[in-house]
Amino acid sequence: LSFAAAASNRGIWPDGTKATICNILIWSGEDDLNDTIVPRLMAMGADLERIDLLKGIKKGDSVRAFDPDRDMEALRDAVENKEISMMIIDPIVMMVKGDSYKNAEVRSALQPLVDLAREYNCAIYGITHFNKGSSGKDPLERLTGSVGFGAVVRIAFASTKYKEDEGTMLFARIKNNI
């Protein structure tokens, strides 16, 4: 969320440079938008006018959960109409309707996002977690689910508590093939 706040208000990136202001879309399946996401964004000084929260798909009078198999066109329209330059999906596994531990199914499920990012020059941040009990392994091998999650992305970052100082966080690039 700190990336969204920085990009919405020309804040500071982790490397100390100023962010380019842009419009952001957030799709969270883990945290409630009203009691968690919005208060955190406000506490970080985000410009909420630049942040669109994906709550679901409206059909008539009802709203149903966003379904990546059926609703990619609606997502594409939101990115185009609202000039979204950054999308955050937490957790990225929500994009996978099949088996998130099968490489081919993960790559197939994420390809529409890759295409959307390329077409609209939109950065997509997919959030996931490390597997428990995987300490000491290559960070890309520690990602929950298939290795496809780490393979399909161009750049991957990880954050963790820094061992020597529990109050300090480490933010590091764990993959870069650009």
Q: Which residues pair with 176 in a beta bridge?
A: 155
Residue 18 — φ and ψ, nearest 5°? -80, 140
pLDDT averaged over every residue in the chain: 89
Q: What is the pLDDT of residues 93-128, one digit of tens each?
A: 988 988 999 999 999 999 999 999 999 999 999 988
pTM: 0.86
Mean pLDDT value across residues 39-61: 92
Beta strands 23-28 and 51-53 are parallel
The dihedral through the CA atoms of 68, 70, 72, 75 has a sign that is negative
Task: Tell me which of 131 and 75 has the higher pLDDT.
Answer: 75
pLDDT in tens, 142-164: 788 888 888 888 888 888 887 77
